[in-house]
Structure 1
Amino acid sequence: MSKSTIQAYFDAFNRGDVAAMLACLSDDVAHHVNEGAVRTGKDAFRAFCEHMNRCYRETLTDMVVFEAEGGTRGAAEYVVNGTYLETDEGLPEADGQTYRLPAGSFFSLKDGLITRVVTYYNLADWMRQVSK
């Protein structure tokens, strides 16, 4: 069950379908973003997605999803293929730069829903790719 929930979450991400991503999450989801604070709840997750969709256009490829025995934990490894659309506060100026980054996510699940999402990528590599 967890592997199909995680795959549905990423399929929704690649379609840009925030509502479908939210449908994969528990109401009290803990979202641990790379280099940032933990956001709790679907409203915080939705706001994060809206911000990201304004500043970045991304699709994920080369996806491998892993499921731990018992279905309560999972992970995924993938490549982020993106375009930097709008300058994000504290980061280099956006000018349509493209980037390609290996990344990974870790998940906790309960009752078929994601209760925790942790995402990691190399911020220094991204900065190098988008800096002018």
Structure 2
Amino acid sequence: MTQNARDTIQRYFDAFNAGDADAMLACLADDVAHHVNEGQLRNGKEKFAEFCAHMGRCYKEELTDMVIFADDSGTRAAAEYTVNGTYLQTDEGLPGANGQTYRLPAGSFFTLGGGRITRIVTYYNLADWMAQVSE
């Protein structure tokens, strides 16, 4: 079970790094709960797809230094990684974008069921990101 959870999370992040939102969605349960850092809870694949489209317009990111953890039951997992990004288009309420690059540590927590991700919680230091893109 632990390896299945790790494999699912790895597929999800491989799809993220490839910019393949459809492959990311394939890893998710239809009623996925997506808790975004400093943002609103998004429920369901449709809301997640909208989030991915928005992120793809505003940011180009690659996740490196990935370490994935899973519990023995395969129902809970976590990942720690480094976000390497470029700020492409100004995101509402944030500093103006002009191609600034950033690098920051981040992590995600997952619940899994039926071979799919049912909950995603992502954390990073928004103040660190703001300082990097405001320089």
Q: 1:25 aligns with which of 20, 23, 28?
A: 28
**Unaligned runs of at least 5 residues, structure 2:** none
Q: Percent identity?
A: 72
**Unaligned runs of at least 5 residues, structure 1:** none
- CA distance in 2: counterparts of 1:104 and 1:127, whole angstroms: 18
2:76 partner amino acid: R
Q: Does 1:78 align with 2:48?
A: no
Instruction: State how 1:2-81 maps to structure 2 within 5 Å.
Output: 2-81=5-84
- CA distance in 2: counterparts of 1:26 and 1:47, whole angstroms: 16
Normalised to the residue count of structure 1, the TM-score between the two structures is 0.99
- CA distance in 2: counterparts of 1:37 and 1:127, whole angstroms: 19
1:127 partner amino acid: M
What's 2:107 paired with? 104
1:19 partner amino acid: D
Query: Which deviations, in whole Å up to 9, do the C-alpha atoms of 1:3-34 show, x marking residues without a partner?
Result: 10000000000000000000000000000000
Shift of 1:69: 1.3
Runs of 4+ in structure 1 deviating by more than 2 angstroms, as ranges, are: none
